[in-house]
């Protein structure tokens, strides 16, 4: 075969490859759009949107409650000059993890898997919930920090290192996604776990550093708090707002590895038990 023929063949192969990629992306977008409309119709539109907005507002309530309590006790912020900023940089990333892990477990239960579209995969429904949750959480968080900047005069409310903030939040989202997938499958095997995990998730708020600086803890306590990967995500995010925030208990590699390992285990567990659970139901 001549070099010209080989070049034409290579071009044709590349064109076919990208055509297949575009087709796959278009099909995926169509599935996501159909799932979004179906979810909105199932939850009657307005209540569907309000449900996601309410979930995003919950961390605002926590920040406000703790802020009022600390002010009543004449407590100063553990770091920086703004109490609300310090609390917000702790509560919002923690709730990103908590709500992601809670939202993701719902689409994989038996009821959510009925009346599936022919080309819909179980994880498609899961990803729709994940994307909607991220959008609603990001909107509420942005409103909070921008309000602190515009109306509260807190210049530090705009992160000086946005890339660090995005990296921390993205990793915490993946961690929540991984835990949510694992819990979704595990709860179908052990139904009582669907009741236990929400309580455990919200209780973890107090052990993830929303209102204290982990570096100021005694060494023995720092070791046990350091086992919590969410704590590392909170400290990672705060480094985007506070240039000299202590790096103790901010192991990015540990957080990323825990998130990836749990995500892999969750996907393997979902794939390995899918047929068994569908036959069981």
Q: What is the DSSP string of 92-145?
A: HHHHHHHHHHHHHHSTTSTGGGTT--TT--HHHHHHHHHHHHHHHHHHHHHHHH
Q: Give me the percent of the chain exceeding a pLDDT of 90.
A: 34
Contacts of 97 by beta carbon, 8 Å cutoff, 6+ apart: 172, 173, 175, 176, 179, 230, 233
172-198 residues labelled b (16+ CB within 10 A) or e (exposed):
bbbbbbbbbbbbbbbbbeeeebbeebe
Of 50-59, 101-110, 156-165, the poorest mean pLDDT is in: 101-110
How would DSSP label each residue in 156-215?
GGS-S-HHHHHHHHHHHHHHHHHHHHHHHHHHHHSTTHHHHHHHHHHHGGGGS-SSS-GG
Residue 194: per-residue pLDDT: 83
Q: Is residue 70 part of a domain?
A: yes
Q: Give me the percent of the chain exceeding a pLDDT of 70.
A: 69
Residue 40: per-residue pLDDT: 52
Contact of 127 with 33, CB cutoff 8 Å:
no
Q: Is residue 204 part of a domain?
A: yes
Q: How many domains does the chain have?
A: 1
Say whether pLDDT at 39 is over 60: no
What would you measure as the largest C-alpha separation in the chain, in angstroms? 84
Q: Is residue 214 part of a domain?
A: yes
Token pair in block for residue 198: 């929400």
Q: Is residue 12 part of a domain?
A: no
Q: What is the mean pLDDT of residues 184-206?
A: 86
Q: Is residue 234 part of a domain?
A: yes
State the distance between the two ends of the chain, measured CA to CA, in whole angstroms.
57
Of 109-118, 191-200, 239-248, the poorest mean pLDDT is in: 109-118
Residue 28: per-residue pLDDT: 58
Matching residue, tokens 């208990």: 249
Nearest Cα neighbor of 164 from 114, 89, 91, 223 is 89
Residue 111: per-residue pLDDT: 43
Q: What is the mean pLDDT of residues 68-94?
A: 92
Q: Is residue 31 part of a domain?
A: no
Q: What is the mean pLDDT of residues 84-103?
A: 91
Q: What is the mean pLDDT of residues 169-190?
A: 88
Cα–Cα distance between 249 and 186 in angstroms, integer? 30
Say whether pLDDT at 78 is over 60: yes
Token pair in block for residue 91: 């509560």
More confident residue, 48 or 227: 227
Across the chain, mean pLDDT equals: 79
Contacts of 281 by beta carbon, 8 Å cutoff, 6+ apart: 110, 113
Q: What is the mean pLDDT of residues 130-142?
A: 82
Domain span at residue 193 reads 43-280
Q: Is residue 37 part of a domain?
A: no
Q: Is residue 30 part of a domain?
A: no
Residue 153: per-residue pLDDT: 87
Residue 45: per-residue pLDDT: 47
Cα–Cα distance between 204 and 188 in angstroms, integer? 23
Say whether pLDDT at 109 is over 90: no
């Amino acid at each position: 075969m001549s070099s010209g023929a080989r070049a034409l063949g290579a071009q044709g192969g590349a064109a076919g490859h990208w055509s297949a990629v575009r087709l796959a992306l278009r099909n995926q977008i169509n599935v996501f759009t159909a799932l979004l409309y179906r979810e909105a119709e199932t939850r009657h539109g307005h209540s569907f949107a309000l449900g996601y907005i309410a979930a995003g507002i919950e961390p605002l309530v926590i920040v406000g409650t703790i802020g009022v309590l600390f002010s009543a006790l004449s407590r100063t912020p553990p770091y920086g000059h703004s109490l609300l900023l310090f609390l917000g940089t702790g509560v919002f990333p923690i709730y990103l993890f908590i709500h992601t892990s809670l939202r993701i477990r719902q689409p994989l239960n038996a009821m959510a898997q009925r009346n599936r579209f022919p080309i819909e995969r179980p994880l498609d429904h899961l990803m729709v919930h994940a994307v909607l949750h991220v959008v609603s959480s990001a909107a509420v968080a942005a409103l909070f920090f921008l309000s602190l900047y515009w109306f509260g005069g807190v210049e530090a409310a705009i992160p000086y290192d946005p890339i660090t903030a995005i990296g921390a939040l993205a990793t915490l989202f993946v961690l929540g996604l991984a835990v949510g997938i694992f819990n979704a499958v595990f709860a179908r095997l052990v139904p009582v776990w669907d009741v236990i995990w929400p309580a455990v998730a919200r209780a973890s708020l107090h052990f993830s550093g929303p209102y204290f600086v982990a570096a100021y803890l005694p060494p023995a306590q720092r070791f046990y708090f350091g086992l919590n990967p969410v704590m590392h995500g909170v400290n990672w995010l705060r480094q985007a707002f506070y240039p000299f925030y202590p790096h103790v208990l901010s192991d990015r590699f540990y957080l990323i590895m825990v998130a990836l390992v749990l995500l892999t285990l969750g996907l393997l567990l979902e794939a390995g038990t899918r047929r068994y659970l569908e036959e069981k139901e």
